[in-house]
Structure 1
Amino acid sequence: MTSAVDASLSTQITRKLYDGELTDGEIWWRDHQVWLQERGYMLRARYRPDWVPSWHKDGGTDYDEHEDGQNIVRSEVLDATRIADDTVVTLKRIKSSRHPYEVDICRFFSSEPRASDPANRCVPVYEVLDVPDEPDCKLIVMPLLRKFFDPRFLTVGEAVEFFRQTFEGLRFMHAHHVAHRDCGRMNIMMDPRPLFPQLYHFVSTWAKRDMSGTAKSYTRTRHPVRYYFIDFGLSRRYDPAKGPPRSWPIWGADRTVPEFHKSLEPCDPFPTDVYYLGNVIKTVFLDVYTGLDFMKPIVDDMVQDEPASRPNMDQVVARFDLLLGSLSTWKLRARLPQRNEFWLVRLFRVIGHTFRTIFHILSLRPALPRP
């Protein structure tokens, strides 16, 4: 009997995940589609109450080849189109009882004068919606964002600009007494619109929005981008008048924080942020690409085991500014090779880089692509 029940449950799960129908997490969005449309946001056809799967119309089963067959993995986040101006935005569902500070921190950084500060790299929030039938639930409306490392970085200058923006952004947060507490690689994203002028599908990010082909993209040097810190669910704002900040350790996505392995006592969360960002640069850049050795002394200090030995973000930015002044234009334009590149791949990439660099020089595009 147990075996039969397990098999039935497995079949239900498989159907939900793999036959293209709405998953349990997606049903929530379908049930709120009409309300969202009334508030000015249109969801994709998949989430409308009258949706009929397109692959059913021709008797097919290849749902993954159809635009409306693309299901979301994280049910808390979905794309939508703002009806007033056809802008694609992102909606994030937040349970206030689980993350009581997230909305307030988002509003804090999206309010003036902080919103206009060029050092602010916190994702802007356009609007906060109260879900009518769920008092504990709010939706925040944000820009459409993309993983910061996709597509890959092509030049030293492109990587250095990422370092510059994230260093200044984290310093900005800390200057306002906010610790992110989970600023790992998945919580730093970029505004993709300069790279993808026609955008891409929210789920299958390699494809056009209608899944008719591959989405065209440009380089960061040709069209510079802005990077943003997202997801303030674990973040806290501290009152300096109450003394040194202390918080109980809480695990984010990065499970390598040295101080959390040593003690569960309350600690200063700001050096932990420094570790998180340093470890992003170490694992995403220094361990993957060559040509960035000049960043190693700063990063090594940021990821030291002892939190008290790490520099604060004021010190990191000051050291980085000195370092940036020592990098020549040719160094910044240099190709960023991946470690252990296959020789044939390397050959094609060198040829492509040479032609792109000539184009960028002739079109007067700077080696450090600031947006």
Structure 2
Amino acid sequence: MTDVPDPRLATLTAPLDSSGTGKRELAATLFKPEVWWAERYQWLKDRGYELRPRYRPGWTPSWRGTKKQFYQCEDGHCFVDTNLADAVCVKYGKFVMLKKIWAAVHPYEAEIGQFLTSGSLATHPSNHCIPILEVLQDPEEEDRLILVMPLLKMFWDPFFDTVGEVVEFCRQLFEGLKFMHDNRVAHRDCSYLNIMMDAESMFIGGWHPVEHVKKRDFSGEVSYYTRTKRPPKYYFIDFGLSRRYDPSTPLSEPVEPVIRGGDKTVPEHQDRKCPPQNPFRADIYCVGNVIKQAILQGTRGVEFLVPLIDSMTAADPLMRPSADDVVDQFQTILQGLGSWTLRSRIIHTEDGAVVNAFLATAHWYRRIGHVLTRRPPLPVPPS
């Protein structure tokens, strides 16, 4: 079973009335799923993870007694996905994400996540699976686990500035997919929302985990560097639907009953009566489709990726390249790209002439700075 979203969440996201009084008071009450986290505040703190002020015992909303609206305050926000909560790792002062899972519903999530990020695999240079820092057994519910992971950001926010930044994103994604498949793990849900980035070095003072445009303390809008100046590392997250096979299993062999993840467009999943399908080929499609939807549609400058992405998203699963082939073909593409191309600006087709002129000027200013400081056009993060 899963938590049913509290209907009051929809109320909070609706337009405010003239006074906003009702919503101020509604936001001052924890939603039912939030109470689960609040009840574990001290237990988590004893284990080194401190939740945000909203979940502290005796919490008093910071907007109470002021003219502020709840949405103007840090503690007026909560995750829509109430299986998630952010916290601070007290020992290291780092922000982490906590995710509660049901072992009976997703019996392999913790196991596969730990397998991919432990031992020699943890430091493998091609590993782009979100690290599982710790697995906590809930003190009250035997079937409930809490995964502790780094706090990450959606990969498209902010959007890519240069061709080189897009190319590096693709490189990391492809090598990460190959790494999983080499270790006989099929992700089965490589969709738009399950690819994130460690952007800690990019953002000055961090970002709020719910309202990403705000600083952590809500003191203003976030400030950040480009990916070229502070390269992020990209990660696959959420192994709830994943499966792991014997190392000797050929990638073409496994078949699994169709489970529709975040990407509902996988061709072989369209027929609800379709027989079991190869999950590795579906992974190839999903990763290709992320790049097609998030980057290729509505932009100019990376058309050289189209043939590879078209092959990855082929309607016939047998016509898609393997992860090994994707990496090899991508390397061939990369070898043909010069520094001038990699430093070029990603252009949004919907932007008008005036906007493009402004963005081009700002881009050239940054570009000259990158050249003078000898920043590479392919922003590879430090290992």
Shorter-chain TM range is over 0.9
Give deviations 1:60-119, integer Å, cap 9, x for gaps: 461111111112211111110011121111111111111000000011011110000000
State whether residues 132 and 149 of structure 2, in contact with CA within 8 Å, keep that contact through their aligned partners in structure 1: yes
Tell me the distance in 1 between the aligned counterparts of 2:242 and 2:356.
42
Whether 1:266 and 2:273 are equivalent positions in the alignment is no
Structure 1 unaligned blocks of 5 or more: 1-8
Select which of 134, 150, 153 maps to 1:146: 153
Note the 1:136-285 alignment, pairs <5 A.
136-239=143-246, 241=248, 244-262=253-271, 263-285=273-295
Tell me the distance in 1 between the aligned counterparts of 2:219 and 2:329.
47
Note the 1:9-24 alignment, pairs <5 A.
14=11, 18=23, 19-20=26-27, 21-24=29-32
Note the 1:87-166 alignment, pairs <5 A.
87-166=94-173
Give secondary structure in 1 for the equivalent of 2:136.
strand
Q: Which moved more, 1:76-85 or 1:354-363?
A: 76-85
Residue 257 of structure 1 aligns to which amino acid in structure 2? V
Tell me the distance in 1 between the aligned counterparts of 2:200 and 2:94.
11
Tell me the distance in 1 between the aligned counterparts of 2:49 and 2:331.
42
2:86 aligns with 79
What is the Cα deviation at residue 362 of structure 1? 0.4
What is the Cα deviation at residue 220 of structure 1? 0.1
2:297 aligns with 287
Select which of 353, 361, 366 maps to 1:343: 353
Residue 347 of structure 1 aligns to which amino acid in structure 2? A
Tell me the distance in 2 between the aligned counterparts of 1:242 and 1:10.
46
Residue 29 of structure 1 aligns to which amino acid in structure 2? W
- Report % sequence identity: 44
Give secondary structure in 1 for the equivalent of 2:377.
coil
Give deviations 1:105-152, integer Å, cap 9, x for gaps: 011011110000000000011111000101111111111100000001
1:366 aligns with 376
Residue 239 of structure 2 aligns to which amino acid in structure 1? F
- Structure 2 length normalisation: TM-score? 0.91
State whether residues 204 and 222 of structure 2, in contact with CA within 8 Å, keep that contact through their aligned partners in structure 1: no
1:52 aligns with 60
Q: Which moved more, 1:11-20 or 1:116-125?
A: 11-20
Structure 2 unaligned blocks of 5 or more: 1-5, 15-22
Tell me the distance in 1 between the aligned counterparts of 2:192 and 2:209.
19
Give deviations 1:318-368, integer Å, cap 9, x for gaps: 000011000010000000001121222111100000000000000110000
Give secondary structure in 1 for the equivalent of 2:235.
strand
State whether residues 16 and 23 of structure 1, in contact with CA within 8 Å, keep that contact through their aligned partners in structure 2: no
What is the Cα deviation at residue 13 of structure 1? 7.5
State whether residues 187 and 230 of structure 1, in contact with CA within 8 Å, keep that contact through their aligned partners in structure 2: yes
Give deviations 1:148-195, integer Å, cap 9, x for gaps: 000010100000000000000000000000000000110000001111
Residue 199 of structure 2 aligns to which amino acid in structure 1? P
2:338 aligns with 328
Give secondary structure in 1 for the equivalent of 2:166.
helix
Residue 279 of structure 1 aligns to which amino acid in structure 2? N
What is the Cα deviation at residue 197 of structure 1? 3.5
Tell me the distance in 2 between the aligned counterparts of 1:35 and 1:16.
31
Size of the aligned set, in residue pairs, is: 362
1:3 aligns with none
Whether 1:29 and 2:33 are equivalent positions in the alignment is no
What is the Cα deviation at residue 239 of structure 1? 2.0
